[in-house]
Amino acid sequence: MAEKDILEKSLCSYNDVFSDIVNNLLFSGEERIKPTQLENAVVHSNYQGEKGFRELERDIAKQWMDNDVRISLIGLENQSIPEDDMPIRIIGYDGVSYRDQIRYETDKNGHRKKVINKCPVVTLVLYFGYEKHWDKATTLHESLGDKLLLELKPYVSDYHINVFEIAWLTDEQVKGFKSDFKFVADYFVQMRRTGNYIGSKDRIEHVREVLQLMKSLTGDNRFITNIERMSINEEGGSNSMEKCLDYIENRGAERKIIDLICKKLRRGEDVEQIAYEVEEDIVRVQMICNIADKYAPDYDVKKIVEEVMKTTMSV
C-alpha cells in the first residue's frame, strides 16, 4: 500500500473523527452517530478481471451499529484530484458491500440456507482540492460520456456519488466539526480563500495523524518535521496548529542562523567573534558550534539543524 494512502487513512480511521465527519456532512452537525457505535468493516474484496483476480480496497469503511442491529455501512474515500471514473469505482465498492450482505450458512443438520442481513450502504467522497471545484463525473452516465448510446440511456441505471468539496465548506460547517478534522477542513477553506493559512489555538488530539495527513494532502514536508517535537507535549499538553506553524517558522529562522555560523566556522572564526557578528548569546552559539564540529569539515546544515532542534527541545 502506498505511503500516501496510509497517511490519508490514519486520522479518519479514528471513530471520533469518522463519526464527526459523517454527522457534520450528512446530519448537519447533529450527533446521530456516536463513536462507540462504530465498528471496522472489511475494506478488501476480490473480483475476476481480464488478467486474473484483482483487489478492490476502500479507503475506510465502518459499520454503524445500534446494539446488535446494523443500521448502515459507511465508507469514506479521500481524493486530492477529480477523477472521471470515480462513479464506477464507487459502484464497485458499494456493490461488493451489498453482495456481502447475502451469504449462506450451514446449520447443524448440514442444510445450507441463505442468511440476509440487509442495510443501506453510504459512501462519501472527500475532495481536498482547493484550486478548482470537482469538475469530473459525479454520475455513472456522466462517466460513460459518449460511450452511452442515446437509445440505451433509458435502460442503463444511473448511479450518483456523494462528493463533498472540503475547501468549499461554509464557515458554519467548518465550525461544526468537533474532532481533529476541523484542522484539516479549516486549512483547505483558508487556502482556497486567501492562499494563506493561520493555525488555530485549539488543541490537537491525534497529533501524529493530523500532521501526517496534512503533509500527505498538501505535499508540505514541514508538517512532519515537527511531529517529534509536537509529540513530546501530546499527553496533557497544549499542542495546536498555531504551535506547529510556530515551530515551522522557528525552524526556518534557526536554519538561517546555523547556515551563517557554519560559513564562519569554515573561515576559521572563533566562537566569540561569531556570537558578536550573528548577534546571538555566546552560550547558544557555543552549543551550535559544538554540534557543528561533529559534521566538520562539510558541515551538513540539515543534520545540524535537526540536532540543534532536538537539543533545544529537551532543555
Q: Give me the pLDDT at residue 315, please.
A: 43
Q: Is the pLDDT of residue 15 over 80?
A: yes
Nearest Cα to Cα of residue 311 among 299, 236, 243, 303? 303
- pLDDT tier at 211, thresholds 50, 70, 90: confident
- pLDDT tier at 252, thresholds 50, 70, 90: low
- Ranges of each domain in the chain: 3-199, 250-314
Q: Give me the pLDDT at residue 204, please.
A: 86
Q: Is the pLDDT of residue 310 over 50?
A: yes
Residue predicted with more confidence, 315 or 164: 164
For 228-248, what is each residue's pLDDT tens digit? 666 545 554 567 777 777 666
C-alpha distances in angstroms, 179 versus 145, 157, 176, 302? 39, 37, 9, 34
Average pLDDT for the chain: 84
d(CA 64, CA 22): 11
Q: Give me the pLDDT at residue 173, please.
A: 95
Its pTM stands at 0.73
What are 44's three cell numbers? Answer: 478488501
- pLDDT tier at 166, thresholds 50, 70, 90: very high
d(CA 238, CA 265): 38
- pLDDT tier at 209, thresholds 50, 70, 90: confident
98 CB neighbour count, 10 Å cutoff: 14
Rg value, the chain, Cα: 26
Burial of 103 (0-12, 13-18, 19+ CB in 10 A): exposed
Q: Is the pLDDT of residue 55 over 80?
A: no
Report the alpha-carbon angle 234-255-308, nearest 5: 55
- pLDDT tier at 1, thresholds 50, 70, 90: very low
Buried residues in 227-244 as b, exposed as e (16+ CB within 10 A): bebbeeeeeeeebbbebb
- Average pLDDT for residues 14-41, to the nearest whole number? 96
- Which has the minimum average pLDDT: 187-201, 231-245, 269-283? 231-245
- pLDDT tier at 152, thresholds 50, 70, 90: very high
Nearest Cα to Cα of residue 82 among 4, 11, 165, 158? 165
Q: Give me the pLDDT at residue 120, please.
A: 96
Q: Give me the pLDDT at residue 8, please.
A: 62
- pLDDT tier at 111, thresholds 50, 70, 90: confident
What are 160's three cell numbers? Answer: 450518483
